Amino acid sequence: IKDFIRRNNINSQIKDFQKRGIYEIEAIKKVKYIMGRTDWDEACTRQINPEAKYFHCDEMLRESFYGGGWYADKCEKHTVFSSQYAYPLKGFHWLVEAISIVRQFYPDVKVYVPGKNILRDDFKSRLSLSYYDKYVVKLIRKYGVERNISFLGQLGEQEMYDRYLKANVFVSASSIENSSNSVSEAMLLGVPTVSSDVGGIKSLLVHGEEGFLYQYNAPYMLAECICRIFGDTSLAQKFSEAARKHAGITHNKEIIVGDLINIYKEIQNGGK
């Protein structure tokens, strides 16, 4: 009902995205300089506007994520943390299917995700569900994983930080990304990470060395990656240490500030 009143159903969202894409291409064609941070955004913008000069500059993360770190002996075993569910592009529906497979090997598996509890069955809650909410609920009930998924409500920065560190695995199941802040936050904290291999994620995480990448629409492979980390503490610790080291370089504040200043100086001098 909410989506119907707001004219915000899935078909409307598709049309809105198509329109935004046209505007974005027009904007990119008109500029002389482009700043990005992954191989993916460089490739896309170069093909749209080969005359523009591309500058690489990584991005800072929220302050609290630069402190602390994940430890295998302190996490809640057989738990998964995912940063959001309500946006279809984030692929929570794939994670639901993957967890139904993981549960066959780890019956106590638990997924924690921020957001309202869409499994509440009172009249008011049902009225507030979006089309996508209803789809996710249908999948959860289809696979019988109601007890394996916990919706945490709205979380602040410190609560997100705490939840990352409690997780055995962090999962990003998106169907499209550039550089995911959630993946970056997990890596900076050293949380063993599994991410769909989309967009610019390869610029953040090296498969098999710092975490796992998988084909975004293959939930059975997502399940396999989760199970491998659950079952191998030494692998989880290896990923944790390597990811923290990589993310510490990618999101180094001093380097980013220096790069940004140099970019503006070069633009001021006409790109020379």
- Give Cα separations from 54 to 42, 204, 255, 266 (angstroms): 7, 19, 18, 12
Enter the tokens of residue 161. Answer: 């930080």
The structure's pTM equals 0.93
If one counts every other C-beta atom within 10 angstroms of the C-beta of residue 223, the result is: 24
Residues forming a β-bridge with 81? 112, 170
CB 178 within 8 A of CB 40: yes
* Whole-number pLDDT of residue 3: 66
Helix, strand, coil abundance in the chain, percent, nearest 5: 55, 10, 35
Q: What dihedral do alpha carbons 181, 184, 188, 194 form, nearest 10°?
A: 130
- 198 Cβ neighbours under 8 A, 6+ residues apart: 174, 175, 176, 177, 216
**How does DSSP classify residue 207?**
B
Residue 3 burial (CB < 10 Å; 0-12/13-18/19+)? middle
Rg (CA), the chain: 20
Element (H, E) at 55: strand 53-56
Enter the tokens of residue 144. Answer: 């019988």
Question: What tens-digit pLDDT sequence spans the chain (272 residues)?
Answer: 666 666 767 788 888 889 999 999 999 999 999 999 999 999 999 999 999 999 999 999 999 899 879 999 999 999 999 998 888 999 999 999 999 999 999 999 999 999 988 887 776 667 778 888 999 999 999 999 999 999 999 999 999 999 999 999 999 999 999 999 999 999 999 999 999 999 999 999 999 999 999 999 999 999 999 999 999 999 999 999 999 999 999 999 999 999 999 999 999 998 67
* Whole-number pLDDT of residue 12: 82
DSSP string computed for 199-251: TTGGGT--BTTTBEEE-TT-HHHHHHHHHHHHT-HHHHHHHHHHHHHHHHHHT
Q: Which of 129, 144, 185 is nearest to 161 (CA)?
A: 185
* Whole-number pLDDT of residue 13: 81
* Whole-number pLDDT of residue 87: 85
